[in-house]
Amino acid sequence: MFRTSVFIFVVSAASILFSCCVASAVPPKNIDTPTQDDEETQRAMSGYRLLVDTPFLKSDFNQEVFDDLWKVWPAKLSEIARSATPAVRRRMAFQRYGLTARPDNPDKPLQYVVDAAGNWTMNCFACHGGKVYGKPFPGAPNNRFALQTLTEEVRQTKLQNGIPLARMDLGSLVIPLGTTNGTTNAVVFGMGLMHLRDKDLNVLVSPPKRFVHHDMDAPAWWSFYKRPSLYIDGFAQKGHRGLMQFLMIPENDRQFFLEHEEEFQDVYSYISSLRAPAYNGEIDEPLAARGQLLFESKCSQCHGTYESPSVYPNIRIDLNDIGTDPVRLNALEVEGRVKYSQSWFAHAGEDMEQETVVDPKGYVAPPLDGIWASAPYLHNGSIPTLWHLLNPDSRPKVWRPVSERFDEKLVGISIEEVSEVPASESDVVIRRSYFDTRKFGKSNKGHDYPAELSDSERKAVLEYLKTL
């Protein structure tokens, strides 16, 4: 097991790496675009189709490899799979790796583009397409994605079947992809790729560079429309070009970006069109009303208000004040942000420079729309429920999801708390389901603002948060 506290990744190895993301024909189910005109709606629908149907990267593996994955599973599971029907085996594989069916086409996965020849290519929904109430929901964070385990088992299956390894299979030997299910080293993927380009996106031969690996919880896409700048430190102004960062594999040259730019204007429209799902359970209205008053006096200065017209202040809080895990902020160096600011991504048109904050010094308070549906909480995904977020002293040190059932009482993931990750657990996917907040980059500390609330006030605020 990893005992080091800092994972370092050497980027020359990164050039043999990533097939990270992306992706293209049916309208997405959760589009809610009341104020948009028809053209915007068409663009949004096109953006969704592009993501689920177009492989913008090299393929990760083919159908044959996917269908054989069960052969490398731990013995017990593999035995069950052996005697199961292909359909049941496929469900088991989806379960194991945190994949779901596409809401508009249940024969296909949401998280991968599968072309007519059976080639699977990861898309943005791998991290940005999860479940709400047990149903696939494009734009919800995928808090079950097991990228590390999937990649390792694909590699093992390819070796057994005599199939050549692809970029991701090799790159993952040097770069951790994600040490806890549902979180990924995605920010470092982006930094590594950027290191291998000049500002106009020509591929460079760059000296190796060390990066600080850390796992992040993907944010929900349904708040995108409110945010003027992106990412937890809000360093990058929003724009369609910025959405293409993950496509910088060496095969995609500058020309590729110019040719596909317009498609990403559609992807931008799609992401902007998303809205949070509504809470379906019971809400104690008088309690929630009391919670709203408390929220507006204690939380709104940072998180905004939610009655129409809603206000989102987009406030960045100094790291010393917020006190949450510092690793993400420091891992992205000023030099890297400066490079981004000068790059093609930060220029919306040839002459339009976007604003980049090169030294942000803290984290931006995110909009809390649909917050009940986007557990776990904080940027590193260290807190499993809203109740735990509101009760800083009771946050679990080591926890894991025990079922996919939504915990209505604590509002979030149904978990068990343990004192240690069981050393005897041999199934990696189970071992990686434990979130150990004592590990590097995984602290659940900070954001102590709710500590000044009384127990009954916390209950009221929790009730109000369900209504957002």
Query: Which residues form the interface with ligand HEC (CB under 6 A)?
Result: 20-22, 124, 126-128, 184, 186-187, 216, 218-219, 223-224, 227, 230-232, 243, 246, 267, 271, 298-299, 301-303, 317, 322, 324, 363, 365-366, 368, 371, 374, 377-379, 386, 389, 447, 449-450, 461
Distance CA 59, CA 55 (A): 7
φ and ψ at 390, to 5 degrees?
-80, -10
Distance CA 124, CA 268 (A): 12
Distance CA 332, CA 212 (A): 8
State in angstroms the smallest separation of the CB of 422 from ligand HEC. 27
For 199, residues 6+ apart whose C-beta sits below 8 A from its C-beta are 339, 342, 343, 344
State in angstroms the smallest separation of the CB of 428 from ligand HEC. 18
Distance CA 204, CA 381 (A): 34
- With tokens 């593999």, the residue in question is 78
State in angstroms the smallest separation of the CB of 84 from ligand HEC. 29
State in angstroms the smallest separation of the CB of 395 from ligand HEC. 12
Cβ nearer to ligand HEC, comparing 110 with 271: 271
- With tokens 């992809």, the residue in question is 177
User: Distances from the Cα of 275 to the Cαs of 68, 312, 418, in angstroms?
Assistant: 38, 15, 36
State in angstroms the smallest separation of the CB of 371 from ligand HEC. 5
Distance CA 174, CA 208 (A): 13
Angle at 263 (CA atoms; ends 257, 267), nearest 5 degrees = 115
23 class by beta-carbon count within 10 Å (0-12 exposed, 13-18 middle, 19+ buried): buried
For 19, residues 6+ apart whose C-beta sits below 8 A from its C-beta are 57, 58, 59, 60, 121, 122, 166, 167, 168, 249
State in angstroms the smallest separation of the CB of 373 from ligand HEC. 11
Cβ nearer to ligand HEC, comparing 427 with 457: 457
Distance CA 15, CA 213 (A): 17
Cβ nearer to ligand HEC, comparing 131 with 447: 447
Q: Which amino acid appears at position 216 of this protein?
A: M
State in angstroms the smallest separation of the CB of 118 from ligand HEC. 21
State in angstroms the smallest separation of the CB of 407 from ligand HEC. 15
Cβ nearer to ligand HEC, comparing 81 with 271: 271
Cβ nearer to ligand HEC, comparing 227 with 275: 227
User: Distances from the Cα of 284 to the Cαs of 237, 297, 453, 456, 463, in angstroms?
Assistant: 39, 20, 19, 13, 7
Cβ nearer to ligand HEC, comparing 246 with 345: 246
Cβ nearer to ligand HEC, comparing 70 with 343: 343
Distance CA 18, CA 252 (A): 12
State in angstroms the smallest separation of the CB of 22 from ligand HEC. 4
Cβ nearer to ligand HEC, comparing 68 with 325: 325
